[in-house]
Amino acid sequence: MKKRILITGANGQVGTKLYEYLMHFGNCQIIASDVSENKFNFPEYEKLDVTSYSDYVDVVVKHGITQVYHMAAILSSKGEINNQLAWNVNMNGLMNTLNIAKEYNINKIFFPSSIAVFAEPFENKIANQNTISTPTTMYGMNKLAGENLCNYYHHKFGLDIRSIRYPGIIGPENNAGGGTTDYAVEIFHHAVKNESYNCFLSAPTTLPMIYIDDAIRATIELMRSEKDEIKIRTSYNLAGISFSPYQIAQEIKKHIPNFRMTYFQDHRQSIADSWPQYINDDEARRDWGWKHEYDLSKMVQVILDQLIPNQYPKIETA
Ligand code: VAH
């Protein structure tokens, strides 16, 4: 039977890319949804506020949804500015997703968690799969509680919910919104216009990041794994590349020598300082064969080339 997939938060940075990848795999009908209008002219779209149980049920029943990628969320920076909104969307939106999945036999759900579930102190700045943590952001608390809610609904009701703790996701689209890692997306759009970039994190602030194609591939590989390969039903650690604003600026300068970075700090610095610098993703590699493909130089090359094709010749790294 053809899979009928609902993506909530489809207008977001990950949702738009996820839609593209799932369309490529074929044999599935995809309904895009978001709380705002159909910004990207998705062929099948529903304006959906996931905090409204009845509206959510109407969409699931109307389209006979069999799988949900629940991407709707308020991210770390915006969640510190509006705690109540973050709690309502991140917790009640997930609760509605799980209860509707239980009531309407949705057979597979993806829940995006984040490395934001971790908070300092870390041994050697690394967060392991089972590092116990007390998140210091509303977003991190929401994601940690969300992971445990997913684990509960799996064990108590048999729902097949799968989850990944995404690092900061970096891609060429200028649609990262409300996150602490947004600088690593914004920087490219200034650099290709020969503008300097005023970064809101300090130069040495190292964070776990991942190129968006790797993040989406990990998501689909996890969702396509056999059930018995999934040993962790809270959320899997996932690692890509860790870098600082200074390091990505230096990599961009290899292609755009005149690029200049300046620095200031706002509330996002303390969020970043609470997060690990590196992620141990041994369990994802063991259970479902995860392996990242993009390092910093390859990511920078690919993004610049997508923003202005053939402008930045590939630099052969030694
Ligand atoms: C944020 N991009 O900055 C998200 C992500 C690890 C960071 O969760 O809130």
Alpha-carbon distance 285 to 288, whole Å?
Answer: 6
Alpha-carbon separation of residue 167 from 28, 61, 127, 180, 210 (angstroms): 28, 33, 11, 11, 6
Residues annotated as catalytic (active site), given as ranges: 139
Here the tokens at position 126 are 């690394």
Q: How far is the CA of 313 from the centre of ligand 1 (A)?
A: 31
pTM of the model: 0.95
Atom nearest to 139 CA in ligand 1: 9
Q: Looking up tokens 């899997």, which residue turns up? A: 236
Atom nearest to 75 CA in ligand 1: 9
> Is any atom of ligand 1 closer than 6 Å to the C-beta of 114?
yes
Atom 8 of ligand 1 has which residue's CA nearest to it? 114
Nearest-5° Cα angle at 98, 94 to 102: 165
Atom nearest to 13 CA in ligand 1: 2
> Is any atom of ligand 1 closer than 6 Å to the C-beta of 179?
yes
pLDDT tens across the length of the chain (318 residues): 789 999 999 999 999 999 999 998 768 999 999 999 999 999 999 999 999 999 999 999 999 999 999 999 999 999 999 999 999 999 999 999 999 999 999 999 999 999 999 999 999 999 999 998 899 999 999 999 999 999 999 999 999 999 999 999 999 998 888 999 999 999 999 999 999 999 999 999 999 999 999 999 999 999 999 999 999 999 999 999 999 999 999 999 999 999 999 999 999 999 999 999 999 999 999 999 999 999 999 999 999 999 988 777 676 654
> Is any atom of ligand 1 closer than 6 Å to the C-beta of 76?
yes
